[in-house]
Amino acid sequence: MANIKQNFSIKDLESLSGIKAHTIRMWEKRYKVLEPKRTDTNIRSYGVNGLQKILNIAFLNENGYKISRISKMSDDGINDLVQRITTSRSNSNRAVKSLKVAMMNFDQSLFLRTYDGLLKYNTFREIYNDVFVPLLQDIGYLWQAGTITPAHEQFISTLIKQKLFLNIEKLQFEKPSKTDRVFILFLPEEEIHDIGLFYTNYELLLLGYKVIFLGQSLPMEDLTYLSKLFDNTVFVSYLTVNPESVEDYVERFTNEICTNDKCEYWLLGRKAVEILEKGIELPKGVKAFQNINAMTLNL
């Protein structure tokens, strides 16, 4: 636990819980819900238990429980109530908060119960777009701000991937219904952020296409054989941090891999959005998309 953050500021609590700092201060004073430590300069400092408690309180408050009632409950009572609440179709925002609680507590069972509650009223596609995507965006901001650690990010990302794997496998049993394209999904060398690519795999399988998933950090030369194996091949990459120069990488790709009119290269992810925002002209056969929905509309 040495590398996991143990102390949090009131701004950290605000960022994670969505409760304004002045409200947290008021709840401390009026209801004694938290007892922060103080630095020599009178700055509040909260431990892991304090953070977990405010996340639980925020979750219950979102579910209609008043702070006056919550403040009279024991910590175990608060935890038990959080565990019992089932997330419904109209509660995607509450589900995000619940999954943040699961992340901060490293609570796998809470993650699974929240997911199962959502699955009663939503498709996996809806859960991913309405809950997992906002959650991952929040986690990215929290990680950059130093509010959470890589351990928290890895914990929740791994659980999301498990659900992706299960839903992808169900579709892989089905024979492709569309034969006009074959999609080859990969990430360039040193690009390891693969959740977006896994979800792209799911969407393409759902549409009935044959998909070859090659995964992360793949050398370009390993794609040469595949580019000649199928007609009407579409390579797809989800670029988050690498390659550093997308323009140089794409130029090399079109010269070495996509060398004929039946081969295309499609780009997704943060780097693709930057390409679109800058208005950079891409070579023939290369397309950048704002998001996965925009890509599927192109099919």
Residue bearing the bigger pLDDT, 146 or 267: 267
Q: Same domain for 227 and 199?
A: yes
Q: Same domain for 61 and 127?
A: yes
Q: Same domain for 228 and 284?
A: yes
Q: pLDDT (tens digit, 9 = 90+) per residue, 242-266? A: 888 889 999 999 998 888 888 899 9
Asked which of 18-32, 68-82, 92-106, 162-176 is least confident by mean pLDDT, the reply is 92-106
Q: pLDDT (tens digit, 9 = 90+) per residue, 2-37? A: 445 677 888 888 877 888 999 999 999 899 888 888
Q: Same domain for 159 and 284?
A: no
Q: Same domain for 123 and 68?
A: yes
Q: How much is the average pLDDT of 274-280?
A: 90
Mean pLDDT, the chain, whole residue set: 86
CATH number of the domain that residue 210 is part of: 3.40.50.280
Tell me, yes or no, whether 3 lies in a domain: no
Q: pLDDT (tens digit, 9 = 90+) per residue, 104-136? A: 878 898 899 889 888 888 899 999 999 999 998
Tell me, yes or no, whether 226 lies in a domain: yes
In whole angstroms, how far apart are CA 282 and each of 105, 178, 253, 285?
A: 45, 27, 12, 8
For residue 4, the model assigns a pLDDT of 52
Q: Same domain for 84 and 219?
A: no
Q: Same domain for 45 and 189?
A: no
Tell me, yes or no, whether 272 lies in a domain: yes
Contacts for 293 with CB less than 8 Å, ≥ 6 apart: none
Domain end call among 129, 149, 168? 168
pLDDT class of 144 with cuts at 50, 70, 90: low
Domain end call among 168, 184, 215? 168
Tell me, yes or no, whether 217 lies in a domain: yes
Tell me, yes or no, whether 2 lies in a domain: no
Q: Same domain for 182 and 288?
A: yes
Is 0.85 topped by the overall pTM?
no
Q: Which of 49, 163, 37, 162 is nearest to 105 (CA)?
A: 49
Q: Same domain for 116 and 197?
A: no
pLDDT class of 86 with cuts at 50, 70, 90: low
Q: Could you give the number of structural domains in the chain?
A: 2
Q: Same domain for 179 and 92?
A: no
Q: Same domain for 139 and 184?
A: no
Contacts for 288 with CB less than 8 Å, ≥ 6 apart: 266, 267, 268, 272, 273, 275, 276, 282
Q: Which domain holds residue 86?
A: 10-168
Alpha helices in the chain (DSSP H): 10-17, 21-31, 48-62, 67-70, 75-84, 92-105, 108-119, 124-127, 133-144, 150-172, 195-206, 224-229, 246-256, 270-278, 292-297
Domain end call among 141, 168, 195? 168
Tell me, yes or no, whether 261 lies in a domain: yes
